[in-house]
Amino acid sequence: MSMTQTQRLNQVVKTVPAWPIYIVGILPGAWLFYQAVSNNLGADPLKALEHQLGEWALQLLIATLLITPLRDLFKINLIKYRRAIGLLAFFYALGHLLTYLWLDQQWWWAAIWKDITKRPYIIIGMVSFLAMVPLAITSNNRSIRKLGPITWRKLHQLTYIVVPLAALHFVLLKKTWQLEPILYLCVGLLLVGYRFWRKRSV
Amino acid sequence: AKSLDAVKSDYTVDTEITPRDAATTYNNFYEFGTGKGDPLANAHTLTTDPWSVEIGGMVNNAGTYGLDDILKDVTLEERIYRFRCVEAWSMVVPWIGFSLSELLKKADPQSGAKYVAFETLYRPEEMPGQNNSRFPYPYVEGLRLDEAMNPLAMIATGMYGEELPNQNGAPLRLVVPWKYGFKSIKSIVKITLTDEQPPTTWNLIADNEYGFYSNVNPEVDHPRWSQASERPIGGGLFAKRIPTLMFNGYADEVASLYSGMDLRTNF
């Protein structure tokens, strides 16, 4: 992209607020749930819903990690949208977890407890989700002020753990090694690795 | 698909039959892709006519049997079986076919034979998933001979009153209702009687997760999930989980095959 196009894009970003992202972002999830309820997602609507919510959460998480390299390497500044994208990722992860607890395991706590304590891919998924909770809670200006920007930034570096774990959770749930989840893991690791490389080279 | 005449049999279950739409659109047949919808989308390329099955090894009547040749001596019957996938979902399917023992008797196993090995067609130009080198094709499965001779073990050539759709393993497949679904090998081209336990595909891929026997057993979990209950497919988003039954509900017929065996180690 030429410099003028980048500048033009950054100008547009200045005029487009972040709040519509929440509305537009939640629509696919709501639509998918409606489709699942109306039995339009094939023979196994539960798995279709569960997997799609999880995959969207992972894609949104990766999108949050793309903001910084886009700014560094291409001078495209989308930072004002990062909070909305991150919170959407959390909502989709929450939807994914609730689908598992409610529709998949049907609040059958004995089985859920066994899953959470015994099965590596579930444990990894849960850890990834739990690490997102403080990030979601502190994704507001008041928390930045209260924690101070340095502590806040440190806390939000948890994302560097959340994303690879979420991708690993996806890799491990498949019966065989499959390309798609492995690609997510590679992209996630690459984006986290970029942070460390950048820190060292500054 | 072409409709098939079959006599009703006594094999039935008291739960609802899975809608045909679900049973023919939600399949594991990795030869056509790993997604549940891939077999429906891709299996139309499979040529199922002509078809023959090579029966060999420790049998007195070794040979290549054409499909018509196999079917001319048997009476097709409809059997409604529970079908339990190792992934913890289940269906109830009205299969059409005959007991595997009838085919084996035709081949006349020799007295030393102890196992039956099965092999799926290997034809990568028609089965795109077979180009995936991470999977040891052709797909192979096996049973102990006494398991294979149990009247429940059947060769199916149809379901829901019609010939088998390609994605369900046309033109003939195994159905072993007390074992996890992957034992019910599809699109069979080769049957070999041996005195040694034959290799089986999922066991080759992950022997800690999939054993040779793979009997449905609610008490022995898969390392990554519980096998205590199952989700019936075809009942929509809010379908209730149901408890999984020992030997998938066929304990009366098959439990004696495993008397004295530790089913935790022989999983």
- Provide the CB-side half-sphere exposure for B219 (13 A, CA): 7
Residue A199 or residue A181, greater confidence: A181
- Could you give the C-alpha distances from B128 to A98, B33, B38, B44, B202, in angstroms and in order? 36, 7, 10, 11, 19
Q: Please, which pLDDT band fits residue A43 given cuts at 50, 70 and 90? A: very high
B160 labelled ligand-binding: no
Question: What local confidence, expressed as pLDDT, does residue A199 receive?
Answer: 82
Helices (H), B7-133: 20-25, 38-42, 67-71, 100-107
Q: Is the pLDDT of residue A2 over 70?
A: no
pLDDT tens for B100-115 read 999 999 999 999 999 9
Q: What percent of chain A has pLDDT over 90?
A: 85
Question: What local confidence, expressed as pLDDT, does residue A5 receive?
Answer: 86
pLDDT tens for A123-158 read 999 999 999 999 999 999 999 999 999 999 999 999
Q: Which residue of chain B is at minimal alpha-carbon distance from A173?
A: B224
Q: Is the pLDDT of residue B149 over 80?
A: yes
Q: Residues A193-198: what's their mean pLDDT?
A: 92
Of A71, A167, A92, the C-alpha closest to A128 is: A167
Question: What local confidence, expressed as pLDDT, does residue A1 receive?
Answer: 53
Q: Is the pLDDT of residue A175 over 80?
A: no
Strands B89-99 and B154-159 come out as antiparallel
Question: What local confidence, expressed as pLDDT, does residue A87 receive?
Answer: 98
pLDDT tens for A93-112 read 999 999 999 999 999 999 89
Q: Is the pLDDT of residue A3 over 70?
A: no
Of B20, B46, B53, the C-alpha closest to B32 is: B46
Please list every residue in chain A whose beta carbon sits closer than 8 Å to the beta carbon of residue B223.
119
pLDDT tens for B3-38 read 999 999 999 999 999 999 999 999 999 999 999 999
Residue type, A128: S
Average per-residue pLDDT for chain A: 94
Average per-residue pLDDT for chain B: 96
Is there a contact between B46 and B54 (Cβ–Cβ < 8 Å)?
no
Question: What local confidence, expressed as pLDDT, does residue A176 receive?
Answer: 78
Q: What percent of chain A has pLDDT over 70?
A: 98
> Hey, are the CB atoms on A120 and B224 less than 8 Å from each other?
yes
Report the 10 Å Cβ neighbour count for A125.
25
CB proximity under 8 Å: A 131-190 to B: 172-173, 175-178
- Provide the CB-side half-sphere exposure for A194 (13 A, CA): 16
Q: What percent of chain B has pLDDT over 90?
A: 96
CA gyration radius, chain B: 17
Kindly state the helix (H) or strand (E) to which residue B63 belongs, with its residue range: strand B63-66
Question: What local confidence, expressed as pLDDT, does residue A177 receive?
Answer: 83
Report the 10 Å Cβ neighbour count for B93.
23
Q: Please, which pLDDT band fits residue A56 given cuts at 50, 70 and 90? A: very high
| Three-state helix/strand/coil letters over chain A | CCHHHHHHHHHHHHHCCCHHHHHHHHHHHHHHHHHHHCCCCCCCHHHHHHHHHHHHHHHHHHHHHHHHHHHHHHCCCCHHHHHHHHHHHHHHHHHHHHHHHHHHCCCCHHHHHHHHHHCHHHHHHHHHHHHHHHHHHCCCHHHHHHHCHHHHHHHHCCHHHHHHHHHHHHHHHCCCCCHHHHHHHHHHHHHHHHHHHHHHHC
CA gyration radius, chain A: 18
Q: Please, which pLDDT band fits residue B133 given cuts at 50, 70 and 90? A: confident
**Dihedral through CA B253, CA B257, CA B260, CA B264, nearest 10?**
-90
In this prediction, the answer to ipTM > 0.90 reads no
Q: Please, which pLDDT band fits residue A174 given cuts at 50, 70 and 90? A: confident
> Hey, are the CB atoms on A173 and B224 less than 8 Å from each other?
yes
Of A121, A125, A109, A118, the C-alpha closest to A53 is: A125
Chain B residues contacting A via beta carbons under 8 Å: 21-23, 25-26, 34, 36-37, 87, 89, 134-135, 205-206, 221, 223-226, 228-229, 231, 233-234, 236-241
Terminal-residue alpha carbon distance, chain B? 37
